[in-house]
């Protein structure tokens, strides 16, 4: 692929193409050649398939990724309902625009227990819609002592926990078509995209700029984490829907 010869050499390597077949491995010779699930994966790893479409989907629409892990993702103790904290609340749908100041910071909660639901649509049971949460973790809970890890899972709006004796971050390599991709998009699913806007040149500089207010056929949820953005040059960490 032709590339520009910049004066400053590029120190990173990138995968090319949106929606293309990609692969990555932390240890050489992890990925099988011309296969997905060999009888004996290299390095004694376990092969797991992550499907993004139905198994009857046409080949041209099939979305799948194969991961090669040190241990299977199901190698944990049974999940148990965690009634200590439920982040889901009743949602009331209203037609007007909303904007609010930051919530007060609770110094006693970690990331999981600081979750607050602000909005949503659809049902997690039918895998439609989305939920919108914010968090403001002030303390760090070490859920591992080096021999046991606590795994939190939110399933159908309920919180569950399970323990396991190994780190969950044990994928050594993967290849496939099912992964988040887009410009400035760090996470996406069929109903929502989580997008970041890094510093960039605005094409309307030194020109007339119409008001920012607009209506879309989509629900827009914005939150300023740090810095400033054009609609809020004062840098107030507020959100709107």
Question: 162, 76 in Cβ contact below 8 A?
Answer: yes
Please compute the mean of the pLDDT values over residues 204-210 and round it to a whole number: 57
Q: How far apart are CA 232 and CA 224, in angstroms?
A: 9
Residues in the chain: 241
Secondary structure element (H or E) that encloses residue 100, with its range: strand 99-100
Distance CA 140, CA 109 (A): 8
Choose between 53 and 18: higher pLDDT: 53
Residue 102 pLDDT level (bands cut at 50, 70, 90)? confident
Query: What confidence score (pLDDT) does residue 21 get?
Result: 86
Structure tokens at 9: 């050499």
Domain ranges, ordered by start, for the chain = 1-75+168-182, 80-165+197-240
Rounded Cα gap, residues 123 and 126, in angstroms: 6
Q: How far is it, in rounded angstroms, from Cα 202 to Cα 39?
A: 53
Statement: residue 111 has pLDDT above 50: yes
Q: What is the pTM of this model?
A: 0.63
**pLDDT value, residue 103:** 78
| pLDDT band at residue 236 using 50, 70 and 90 as cut-offs | very low
Whether 69 has a pLDDT exceeding 90, the answer reads yes
CB 45 within 8 Å of CB 68: yes
Confidence at 27, pLDDT banded by 50, 70, 90: very high
CA separation for the pair 198, 207 (Å, rounded) = 22
Q: Is the pLDDT of residue 189 over 90?
A: no
Q: Is 50 exceeded by the pLDDT of residue 45?
A: yes
pLDDT of residue 241 exceeding 50: no
Tokens 């609609």 identify what position?
231
């Amino acid at each position: 692929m032709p590339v520009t010869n910049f004066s400053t050499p590029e120190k990173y390597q990138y995968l090319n193409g949106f929606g293309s077949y990609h692969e990555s491995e932390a240890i050489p010779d992890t990925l099988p050649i011309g296969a997905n699930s060999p009888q004996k994966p290299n390095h004694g790893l376990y092969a797991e398939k992550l499907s993004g479409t139905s198994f009857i989907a046409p080949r041209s629409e099939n979305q799948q990724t194969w991961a090669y892990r040190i241990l299977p993702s199901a190698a944990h103790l049974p999940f148990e309902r965690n009634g200590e904290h439920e982040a889901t609340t009743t949602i009331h749908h209203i037609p007007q625009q909303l904007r609010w100041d930051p919530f007060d910071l609770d110094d006693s909660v970690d990331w999981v227990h600081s979750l607050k639901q602000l909005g949503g649509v659809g049902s997690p049971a039918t895998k439609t819609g989305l939920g919108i949460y914010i968090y403001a973790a002030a303390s760090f809970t070490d859920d591992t002592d080096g021999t046991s890890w606590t795994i939190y899972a939110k399933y159908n709006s309920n919180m569950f926990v399970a323990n396991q004796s190994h780190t969950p971050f044990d994928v050594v390599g993967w290849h496939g078509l099912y992964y988040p991709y887009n410009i400035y998009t760090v996470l996406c699913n069929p109903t929502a995209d989580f997008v970041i806007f890094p510093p960039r040149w605005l094409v309307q500089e030194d020109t007339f700029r119409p008001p920012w207010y607009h209506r879309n056929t989509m629900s827009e949820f914005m939150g300023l984490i740090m810095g400033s953005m054009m609609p809020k040059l004062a840098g107030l960490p507020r959100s709107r829907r």
